[in-house]
Amino acid sequence: MKRNEYTMPITGNMVLGADKPVLFAGPCVVESMDICIEIGSRAKTLAKQIGFEYVFKASFDKANRTSSGSFRSIGMDKALGVLEEVGKALDVPLLTDVHESSQIKEVAKVVDVLQIPAFLCRQTDLLLAAGESGKAVKIKRGQFMAPEDMRFAVDKIRSTGNDKVCLTERGFSLGYHNLVVDMRALPIMRQFAPVVFDVTHSVQQPGGLGGSSGGQREMAPYLARAAGAAGVDGFFIETHPDPSKALSDGPNMVPLAEMEAFLSMIKEAWLLGEKYKGFKI
């Protein structure tokens, strides 16, 4: 059932903006096959149990780390190989980031959703190449972008003839090392495309630990509940069995052991948002 003016097909039977919220969840970066299978299998089970559609998420490369000394990737070919095996083993769609137009041809052979990082949401050539791939494209709103201006990023994808596009909210920069989520951005951007709320990076503190980013994991439940009640089509959550040992973004991850309670909570908030979605003043 179509809930909004816009939807984004992901696979044949999975649509963002239909009658179930979509959960995009996994580790921040491809660390190993074992970690990806552990996280993906648990997330898939919980999604089915609680009432989400599920897409496995992991970056094959983290090209935007604070420090050049931070971990980036196990290598493009090896990471894409892991993603492909995870997709087959778990029978789930896949999402990963792309940072350069030249990466898209190879990445699109493996994944179902191409994610455009927030810092790159204005990069026309990258957006056009992603659109031309024919894959679903998930664009993160830049921390420097007004919500209403994201319509132009969406237009760039649609100009290629590809209507499979959505937007993601992750907060805007307010001073150094601080992000703030303006909930007004959700209904504004939902006028142009389905909207996903990025739980993980909304509580990130970019560069807050000097050579790496910090985070306020304890604030994730408040923002996730608010976004669910405000009305979104999906949630993006990075998770790990031991965030303190994660190779990227550990301070703002939801621990894997807490995911069942966390997803149950935000599903209740999402249902509340559905109940009152037609209310206007």
What CATH number does residue 35 fall under? 3.20.20.70
Q: Domain for residue 6, yes or no? A: no
Q: Domain for residue 35, yes or no? A: yes
Using one digit for the tens of pLDDT, what is the confidence trace for 130-181? 999 999 999 999 999 999 999 999 999 999 999 999 999 998 878 788 889 9
Q: Is the dihedral of CA 262, 264, 267, 269 positive or negative?
A: negative
Q: Domain for residue 243, yes or no? A: yes
Q: Domain for residue 208, yes or no? A: yes
Please tell me the predicted confidence (pLDDT) of residue 152: 98
Q: Domain for residue 11, yes or no? A: no
Q: Domain for residue 5, yes or no? A: no
User: Which residues span the domain enclosing 193?
Assistant: 16-275
In the chain, the number of structural domains is 1
- CB count within 10 Å of CB 48 equals 11
Three-state SS sequence of 112-177: CEEEECHHHCCCHHHHHHHHHCCCEEEEECCCCCCHHHHHHHHHHHHCCCCCCEEEEECCEECCCC
Please tell me the predicted confidence (pLDDT) of residue 1: 44
Using one digit for the tens of pLDDT, what is the confidence trace for 221-258? 999 999 999 999 999 999 999 999 988 777 889 999 99
Q: Domain for residue 185, yes or no? A: yes
Using one digit for the tens of pLDDT, what is the confidence trace for 34-45? 999 999 999 999
Q: Domain for residue 90, yes or no? A: yes
User: Is residue 95 within 8 Å of 65, Cβ to Cβ?
Assistant: no
| 217 — pLDDT class (breaks 50, 70, 90) | confident
User: Is residue 12 within 8 Å of 55, Cβ to Cβ?
Assistant: no
Please tell me the predicted confidence (pLDDT) of residue 120: 97
Using one digit for the tens of pLDDT, what is the confidence trace for 43-94? 999 999 999 999 999 999 877 756 667 667 789 999 999 999 999 999 999 9
